[in-house]
Amino acid sequence: MITGAEEQTDVTELSYSLSSLWKLARKKFCMRGVPLNRPPYKTEGTKIADGDDKLEKGQAATNFQLRSGHSPLRHYLSRAKAGISPLCPNCVITEPTAHFLFNCKKYSKQKRKFRDRLRKEGIKVDFHNASRLLTIFPFLADDYIEDTNRFPNLRKCTPTIEAQ
């Protein structure tokens, strides 16, 4: 029969061992030269990673909303019972994230500029998987999102480069 004092000791030992295990795993992971707050893909030494850490808070929030499907596009707003039709006002088909990023005819100029930039950087993209593009290259998609002016609450920002 386990008494209350023995049970308390077991819980204390367990929490101590879990915290020490976490510290050890964190130490070993950092010793490999991979910082814990960096994305899992390689960004060092590539041209396209220059803007990775320069996303503004609003841009990052919009990117996350588009990735998760909970963005202020008509498809989600109609599902959220906002009294809005789910159809794109320009194309008269539903307006999910993939339609906004790849298919909407209204943003053809911005889309051409976006695709040219992807080709210039040598990035091959599956244009049927919007969340993958938004996850791996968020800073490239944010230029397109800003150019479309689809989200008026986003303000355009230009990152300042500090003089060395």
Quote the number of domains for the chain.
1
Cα 111 to Cα 93: distance, rounded to the nearest angstrom? 18
| pLDDT, mean of residues 113-119 | 85
Domain interval for residue 127: 50-148
Task: Identify whether 68 is part of a domain.
Answer: yes
The pLDDT value given to residue 164: 46
The pLDDT value given to residue 49: 41
DSSP string, 20-40: HHHHHHHHHHHHTT--TTS-S
Task: Identify whether 26 is part of a domain.
Answer: no
pLDDT interval class at 1 (50, 70, 90): low
pLDDT interval class at 3 (50, 70, 90): low
Question: Which has more pLDDT, 32 or 95?
Answer: 95
The pLDDT value given to residue 31: 47
Cα 33 to Cα 46: distance, rounded to the nearest angstrom? 17
Task: Identify whether 121 is part of a domain.
Answer: yes
User: For 55-113, how does the pLDDT look when each residue is reduced to its tens digit (9 = 90+)?
Assistant: 677 777 888 888 888 888 888 888 887 788 889 888 888 888 888 888 889 999 988 88
Which residues are within 8 A (CB) of 150 and not within 5 positions of it... i.e. 6 or more apart?
73, 100, 107
- For residue 148, give the nearest of 97, 110, 100, 94 by alpha carbon: 110
Cα 156 to Cα 62: distance, rounded to the nearest angstrom? 13
Task: Identify whether 5 is part of a domain.
Answer: no
The pLDDT value given to residue 45: 45
**Averaged pLDDT of the chain:** 70
Task: Identify whether 35 is part of a domain.
Answer: no
Does pLDDT of 33 surpass 60?
A: no
| pLDDT, mean of residues 128-150 | 78
Task: Identify whether 109 is part of a domain.
Answer: yes
C-alpha torsion sign, points 87, 89, 95, 99? positive
| pLDDT, mean of residues 27-55 | 49
The pLDDT value given to residue 103: 86
| Burial class of residue 77 in the structure, from the number of CB atoms within 10 Å of its CB (0-12 exposed, 13-18 middle, 19+ buried) | middle
pLDDT interval class at 149 (50, 70, 90): confident
The pLDDT value given to residue 141: 79
The pLDDT value given to residue 48: 42
Task: Identify whether 127 is part of a domain.
Answer: yes
Task: Identify whether 14 is part of a domain.
Answer: no
